[in-house]
Amino acid sequence: MASVAPLSSPRPWQWTKVVPVVAALAVAAAACGALGWWQWERAHEQAVTVDAAPAVPLAGLLEPGMSPGLAIGRQVSVTGRWADEDAAVVWGRDVDGEPAVFLLRPLRVSAEHTGTGSEATLTVLVGWSADDGNVPEVPAGEGDVEVAGFLRAGESASTRMTLPPPGVQRAFSTESIAPSELAQVWAGPLYAAVLVSDRTVGGWEALPPPEADSQLDFRSVAYAIEWWIFGAFFVFIGVRWIRDNGRVPRQADATSDPIIEEDALHE
């Protein structure tokens, strides 16, 4: 005796039920998405500018040879004297889209201002000049000076230190702002960070300060995320309902599959 179970065909959709649910689902998801995006834009519009921390003495923030870490970007001030050593002209730079050169000078920080009891050398980025072939002279400096600005990280050594540019005395050329490289020609120990001066001196313009940080309105960000979660929840519930209730229910007499039997009778 052999039996064969017929293949069941997919139940048809109940479009009169499914279409309204899909429409309501689309409206709810679009509304939640739009409200979430509005809150996200609002979070950026109401962002609060975080003012830079006030300048602090360098000795209270960084010591010679110490990794700069969180000191990068901080405003500092330090007192010292310009070392009687050659300056460094850095080529291949860009300021606001304009080709530029930078001037680096060694500032000898006295023992009482390093915080270590010993003198040290700080690399100071004095300023920048347009790379038009007319590099300004290295400014003269005698006696103690106070330099203020922000700290920036040093770069990798370029391994290329060449003769001074034409017309510039007491300077050499380089391609990087690397204290590790400058330690070969300047008296050590050197600070690992570079102080970017905030004052224009002798034709060398001060670099623009770093842009102020902004802090988002986190309450609006939270509201935006909530709206997007609501939208995702509506989509989940709608899809689940359509899957469970969107098709025509099976007939009561079709709950069990009929079996066709062959050779039921034996003669």
CB-CB contact of 79 with 244 (8 Å): no
Amino acid at 87: A
For the chain, count helices (H), then strands (E).
Answer: 4, 13
Sign of dihedral through CA atoms 58, 63, 66, 70?
negative
9-23: buried (b, 16+ CB within 10 Å) or exposed (e) per residue? eeeeeeeeeeeebee
Beta strands at 144-153 and 75-82: parallel, antiparallel or unpaired: antiparallel
Collect all residues with Cβ–Cβ distance below 8 Å to 142 and sequence separation of at least 6.
Answer: 81, 82
pLDDT at 11: 73
- Please state, in angstroms and rounded to a whole number, the distance separating the CA atoms of residues 214 and 39: 17
- List the chain pLDDT tens, one digit each, 267 residues: 555 555 556 777 777 778 888 888 889 889 999 998 988 888 777 665 545 567 788 888 888 888 888 888 888 899 999 988 888 888 888 888 888 889 999 999 988 888 788 899 999 999 988 887 777 888 777 778 889 998 888 888 766 666 666 666 778 888 888 888 888 889 889 998 899 998 888 888 888 877 665 666 778 888 889 989 988 988 888 888 888 887 777 664 444 444 444 444 444
CB-CB contact of 242 with 21 (8 Å): yes
- Please state, in angstroms and rounded to a whole number, the distance separating the CA atoms of residues 139 and 201: 7
- Please state, in angstroms and rounded to a whole number, the distance separating the CA atoms of residues 150 and 73: 6
Residues in the chain: 267
DSSP character for 182? H
Q: In DSSP terms, which residues pair with 98 in a beta bridge?
A: 95
Beta strands at 190-197 and 120-130: parallel, antiparallel or unpaired: parallel
Collect all residues with Cβ–Cβ distance below 8 Å to 37 and sequence separation of at least 6.
Answer: 224
